[in-house]
Every structure is written in structure tokens, then in C-alpha cells.
Amino acid sequence: MEANSLQLFNKEELDPHILNASINTSKPSIPPEDRRVELTPYNPQKTLESTLNSILPDSQEENKLMKARKIMGETIKDVPDEQLQVFVTELQYLIDTFLDNFEKQVFDGLTLKQLLREG
């Protein structure tokens, strides 16, 4: 049985002098300012954390939902997390607005944050 060999290139094409002559080195294809590469150290833990943070809810948001479910008990057991999050956010807004208005009445039109910044 005779072994057939597949020839992909002519011997002339593989000659290093011919290969080097065919490469145009007179003008770089990438401008020098774009050739700079800034390397940042690879940190797999940070990569994992950022990926998980983009997918999963913030732990503070999760704790708020868990706390709300614990406080309200059976009343909201069938309420989905998204709806509960909206409810908690709206309630927080109402509380903050009420406190700001109360502080303005007590402290001559200023909130407590404003007073602390001035002092």
C-alpha cells in the first residue's frame, strides 16, 4: 500500500525569503497610539461578584423583602416579590416625605439633614 501525501504549499511558497518579502512592513496597520494595551490584573472573585450582582438582587433589597414578609406574616404570603418591592419602595417614599414635612415644621422650614450640613 502506497502512502499518499497531501501537498498544501509549493516549496517555493514556504521559502522564508519569499514569505518575508511579501509582508509589507513599511506602514503599520495600527496607529502607535492605538497599540498601547493597558493590562488590568485578572481577579476571578471580582468578576464572579460583578456577574452575580448583575443577575441577583442586591442583598439589601433582599433583606428588606424578607423583613417585610416577616413583619406582615400571612397577610402577604401570596404577594410576588416584585409587587412587594414596589409596595416597600412606595411606603418608604411616604415615610420619608412625612418626616421631611414634619422636620420642616419643627425646624423653621429646614430638614434635619439641612440643619446638620449648616452646623
Q: Convert the pLDDT of each residue in 101-114 to its tens digit.
A: 999 999 999 998 89
Distance CA 57, CA 36 (A): 37
N-terminal to C-terminal alpha carbon distance within the chain: 99
Confidence (pTM): 0.46
- The full set of domain ranges for the chain reads 58-118
Please, what's the largest Cα pairwise distance for the chain? 105
Rg of the chain in Å (alpha carbons): 34
For residue 18, what is its C-alpha cell? Answer: 519569499
Report the pLDDT averaged over residues 64-75: 89
CA atoms within 13 A on the CB side of 113: 4
